Amino acid sequence: MYSLRRLLMIFSAGLLITGCSTPKKGDISWYIGVAAPQHYEVWVMNMHLERSGERSWRVPIGTVSCCWTGKYGPRGGGGEMDPFPNLIALHWFSFAEQKFYSTLIRVPDDLETRMSVPALTTTPSGEERYMPRHSLVLGLAPGGQVVMWMMSQRSNAVEVMRVSATEVEGDPDDFASATASYLEEHGSYLEEHGLQLDKW
């Protein structure tokens, strides 16, 4: 009986130590996504990630119509970051502005370490856990504004940085059909509210 009790105590202590340990950076499944403010859809033609000297790869995105803030934001469609990149290149078309933007983001050197630190996260069942902020979300706003957040869920999203993209050449007629559909749904909102460049 004594040996069983002792075994249970050792097992329990092991669980406590394991549960409180900080995950190693190499054990985290990193994710990157792209978001846009409601009513300000964009089409991401290219998102290219690079870990210099190790790997360079493309994450397909396409149309982005959600989510900047609110119940579902910030979040957006994307893919894995494996390995964790030090450069992110973006090229997109803004339906509201009929403009093309491009930027090269140099990821802060300490960002992987910062994201690895466990943050309070609430599971769908209401259980509270501490998990790394494993997701990086890039918000693309009118005027070429890019906002970067790190998070594991929207309740612990932290803004990392802001960069301004450069307007680049492109033919809006390439998106004529998609623009017509976009304006049918959001045209009246744009007429009333405009681009709200200082809102983001």
Number of domain units in the chain: 1
Task: Tell me how crowded residue 178 is: count the other CB atoms within 10 A of its CB.
Answer: 14
The answer as to whether 136 is a domain residue is yes
Gap between the Cα atoms of 74 and 13, Å rounded: 38
Q: In which domain, by residue range, is 69 found?
A: 26-193
The answer as to whether 200 is a domain residue is no
| pLDDT reading at 19 higher than 80 | no
Gap between the Cα atoms of 79 and 138, Å rounded: 12
C-alpha triplet 20, 157, 127: angle, nearest 5°: 45
| 28 pLDDT tier (thresholds 50, 70, 90) | very high
Q: What is the pLDDT of residue 72?
A: 78
| 57 pLDDT tier (thresholds 50, 70, 90) | very high
The answer as to whether 163 is a domain residue is yes
| pLDDT reading at 23 higher than 90 | no
Whether the model pTM is above 0.95: no
The answer as to whether 147 is a domain residue is yes
| pLDDT reading at 181 higher than 90 | yes
Better-predicted residue by pLDDT, 6 or 130: 130
The answer as to whether 63 is a domain residue is yes
| pLDDT reading at 6 higher than 90 | no
The answer as to whether 11 is a domain residue is no
Mean pLDDT, the chain, as a whole number?
89
| 11 pLDDT tier (thresholds 50, 70, 90) | very low
| 4 pLDDT tier (thresholds 50, 70, 90) | very low
Task: Tell me how crowded residue 121 is: count the other CB atoms within 10 A of its CB.
Answer: 18
142 contact partners, CB below 8 Å, separation of at least 6: 37, 40, 94, 96, 97, 195, 196, 197, 200
Q: What is the pLDDT of residue 5?
A: 52
The answer as to whether 199 is a domain residue is no
Q: What is the pLDDT of residue 24?
A: 56
The answer as to whether 5 is a domain residue is no
Q: What is the pLDDT of residue 25?
A: 55
| pLDDT reading at 32 higher than 90 | yes
Q: pLDDT (tens digit, 9 = 90+) per residue, 69-123?
A: 877 789 889 999 999 999 999 999 999 999 999 999 999 999 999 999 999 999 8
Gap between the Cα atoms of 37 and 64, Å rounded: 9
The answer to whether 105 touches 88, Cβ cutoff 8 Å, is: yes
